[in-house]
């Protein structure tokens, strides 16, 4: 049997990783922004929740042009969030409680405030300092047009012109200039960063935009022929490895190099790629001599549809297995609409339009959303592989879709010319208590307004309350640890009842989810856990209501 204890080098294969978005988790110093001491203070709660690891989204010095994914110094802590000593204390306490620590690495771009970029600006065109980034002359008679038609992920041209006339590449905001990964100094500096945090005892890394580092920058740079070709969606209809900046074959050399560093530690450090790349190509990032895992965005993007989910689960397991990796599952993170709300949106709903309507078109029934989210969570936690849980989902928080536009902080709002409300609705600071300033987030208020209904979802309102979402997560995580064995999944029956997902993990664990709108017969066996109470489950069997998951022995 596989050993999944936290001491085993493969602990990550079937871990539950809790994502902390530090600025919105807990604010110990009362400046309105969450901080590392806030996280450290709540570690006992996370250990009590039963997760195996925490992944900290960036806490590095940053002007927050993109919520911390604009890093000015990769080897320090933002003073507003604490100090390196605070980080060390947090990591030590996490380890004492049996929790692993994963930190976020952002190698595709720096902040424009990074000393390298400041040096590049000052040094002028043609200087070696500019070679660490992607500076080019513009097109048109006076260089007034961007060098190519490449588009930023957040909207508009991916090129920004500076006062001396040159342009630089930024696949995200203009405050996030892209690095040139063919430059040896860039490579060496990230090796140093990997060692810096590994030496401080971190157990792993989450690699931001892992699929964009290697770019085809041979002259002349080629146009993509339309805004739609700049996005990751283009990957599915281009021959593999031919996009100028996404998922190029050369990117894997970088991860092979990193693997030697990760493996030089005992136990080896783990890594998970954020790579928006379709299935089999994505799995390449998780080959044994590269990173260990890659996030599964097909699962995240699947609707509440049994057929679609079964296909995605089957494919995800097969593609991960083909490279010897374990699968990953994620329902919510800091970039997407929380799954309590998202899974209720009818297929084809335009997420931006829904957010722009303040969540009124269509309006999501909060109770029904929570019911469905709980069913989705128990389904996810029963799947073989690792689950990544986003802060607040254990409270059942809905998306705050009606944030007033003047409160928005996500650069997406401005960069899309107010066409996309962005990702703030899932980043609203967490409610810990039912009353008090910012519901226990911190004494200095919250940097995004919390709706009054957050009081009902507060950890305090749910702790020890039977049937609460928080207690459901705790029970599920405790039970999951006991039930875990190999990574096999066997679907029950060759053709499942439509609208139902039913599979076995091992002798002692079966999971059934009813995604249809009518009750279905409950199979015989001991009920271990249900996402909602079963009304009529007696010795003679019973039914599984819609939007409910059951774990059976």
Residues with catalytic function: 208, 274
304 counts as binding ligand NOJ under rule CB under 6 A: no
337 counts as binding ligand NOJ under rule CB under 6 A: no
335 counts as binding ligand NOJ under rule CB under 6 A: yes
Interface pattern 458-497 for ligand NOJ (x via CB under 6 A): ----------------------------------------
Which residues from 109-168 bind ligand NOJ, rule CB under 6 A?
Answer: none
| Binding segment (CB under 6 A) for ligand NOJ, from list 64-72, 183-191, 217-225, 436-444 | 64-72
How far apart, in whole angstroms, are the C-alpha atoms of residue 247 and residue 338?
27
What are the beta bridge partners of residue 104? 206
336 counts as binding ligand NOJ under rule CB under 6 A: no
Out of 28, 49, 186, 209, the only residue in the binding site for ligand NOJ (CB under 6 A) is 209
Nearer residue to ligand NOJ within complex by CB, 158 or 512 = 158
User: 94: helix, coil or strand?
Assistant: helix
373 close to 393: Cβ distance less than 8 angstroms: yes
Nearest distance from C-beta of residue 174 to ligand NOJ, angstroms: 13
Nearer residue to ligand NOJ within complex by CB, 69 or 167 = 69
Which residues from 162-181 bind ligand NOJ, rule CB under 6 A?
Answer: 172
Cα dihedral 125, 128, 133, 137 sign: positive
Out of 27, 35, 66, 547, the only residue in the binding site for ligand NOJ (CB under 6 A) is 66
- What is the distance of C-alpha 532 from the center of its chain? 26
How far apart, in whole angstroms, are the C-alpha atoms of residue 412 and residue 186?
27
How far apart, in whole angstroms, are the C-alpha atoms of residue 159 and residue 136?
9
Residue number closest to ligand NOJ, CB atom: 69
93 close to 87: Cβ distance less than 8 angstroms: no
Q: How many residues bind ligand NOJ (CB under 6 A)?
A: 10
Nearer residue to ligand NOJ within complex by CB, 57 or 340 = 57
Nearest distance from C-beta of residue 409 to ligand NOJ, angstroms: 12
* Beta strand pairing call for 490-491 and 386-390: unpaired
52 counts as binding ligand NOJ under rule CB under 6 A: no
69 counts as binding ligand NOJ under rule CB under 6 A: yes
Interface pattern 247-286 for ligand NOJ (x via CB under 6 A): ---------------------------x------------
Nearer residue to ligand NOJ within complex by CB, 86 or 175 = 175
44-47: long-range pairs with CB below 8 Å, 24+: 44/97, 45/459, 46/18, 46/97, 46/99, 47/97, 47/98, 47/99
Cα dihedral 459, 460, 461, 466 sign: positive
Nearer residue to ligand NOJ within complex by CB, 106 or 370 = 106
537-544: long-range pairs with CB below 8 Å, 24+: 543/519, 544/512, 544/514, 544/519, 544/520
- Rounded alpha-carbon distances, angstroms, from residue 230 to 97, 248, 275, 498: 44, 14, 15, 38
Nearer residue to ligand NOJ within complex by CB, 168 or 172 = 172
- Which residues contact ligand NOJ by CB under 6 A? 66-67, 69, 106, 172, 208-209, 274, 334-335
């Amino acid at each position: 049997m596989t050993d999944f204890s936290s001491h085993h080098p493969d602990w990550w294969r079937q871990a539950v990783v809790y994502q902390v978005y530090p600025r919105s988790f807990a604010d110990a110093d009362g400046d309105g922004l969450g901080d590392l001491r806030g996280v450290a203070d709540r570690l006992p709660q996370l250990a009590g929740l039963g997760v195996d690891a925490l992944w900290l989204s960036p806490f590095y010095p940053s002007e927050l042009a993109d919520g911390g994914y604009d890093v000015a110094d990769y080897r320090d802590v933002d003073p507003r969030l604490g100090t390196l000593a605070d980080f060390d204390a947090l990591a030590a306490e996490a380890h004492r409680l049996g929790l692993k620590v994963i930190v976020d690495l952002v190698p595709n771009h720096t902040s424009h405030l990074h000393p390298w970029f400041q040096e590049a600006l000052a040094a002028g065109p043609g200087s070696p300092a500019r070679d660490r980034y992607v500076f080019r002359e513009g097109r048109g008679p006076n260089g007034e047009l961007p060098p190519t038609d490449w588009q930023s992920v957040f909207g508009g041209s991916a090129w920004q012109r500076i006062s001396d006339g040159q342009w630089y590449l930024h696949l995200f905001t203009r405050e996030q200039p892209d690095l040139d990964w063919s430059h040896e100094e860039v490579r060496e500096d990230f090796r140093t960063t990997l060692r810096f945090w590994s030496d401080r005892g971190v157990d792993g890394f989450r690699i931001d935009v892992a699929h964009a580092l290697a770019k085809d920058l041979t002259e002349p740079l080629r146009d993509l022929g339309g805004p739609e070709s700049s996005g990751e969606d283009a990957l599915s209809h281009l021959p593999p490895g031919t996009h100028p900046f996404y998922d190029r074959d050369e990117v894997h050399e970088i991860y092979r190099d990193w693997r030697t560093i990760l493996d030089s530690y005992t136990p080896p450090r783990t890594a998970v790629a954020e790579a928006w790349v379709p299935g089999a190509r994505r799995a390449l990032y998780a080959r044994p001599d590269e990173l260990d895992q890659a996030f599964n965005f097909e699962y995240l993007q699947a609707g509440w549809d049994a057929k679609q989910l079964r296909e995605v689960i089957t494919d995800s397991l097969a593609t991960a297995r083909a490279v010897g990796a374990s699968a990953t599952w994620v329902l919510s993170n800091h970039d997407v609409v929380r799954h309590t709300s998202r899974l209720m949106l009818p297929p084809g709903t335009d997420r931006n339009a829904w957010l722009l309507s303040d969540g009124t078109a269509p309006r999501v029934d909060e109770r029904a959303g929570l019911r469905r989210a709980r069913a989705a969570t128990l389904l996810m936690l029963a799947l073989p592989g690792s689950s990544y849980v986003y802060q607040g989902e254990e409270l059942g928080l809905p998306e705050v879709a009606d944030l007033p536009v003047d409160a928005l902080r996500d650069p997406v709002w401005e960069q899309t010319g107010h066409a996309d409300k962005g990702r703030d609705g899932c980043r609203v600071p967490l409610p810990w208590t039912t009353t008090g300033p910012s519901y226990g987030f911190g004494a200095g208020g919250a940097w995004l307004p919390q709706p009054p209904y957050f009081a009902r979802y507060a950890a305090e309102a749910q702790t020890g309350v039977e049937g609460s979402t928080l207690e459901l997560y705790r029970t599920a995580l405790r039970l999951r640890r006991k039930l875990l064995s190999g990574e096999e999944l066997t679907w029950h029956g060759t053709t499942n009842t439509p609208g139902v997902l039913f599979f076995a993990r091992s002798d002692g664990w079966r999971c059934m989810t009813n995604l249809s709108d009518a009750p279905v017969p409950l199979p015989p066996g001991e009920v271990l856990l249900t996402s909602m109470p079963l009304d009529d489950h007696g010795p003679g069997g019973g039914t599984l209501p819609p939007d409910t998951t059951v774990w059976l022995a």
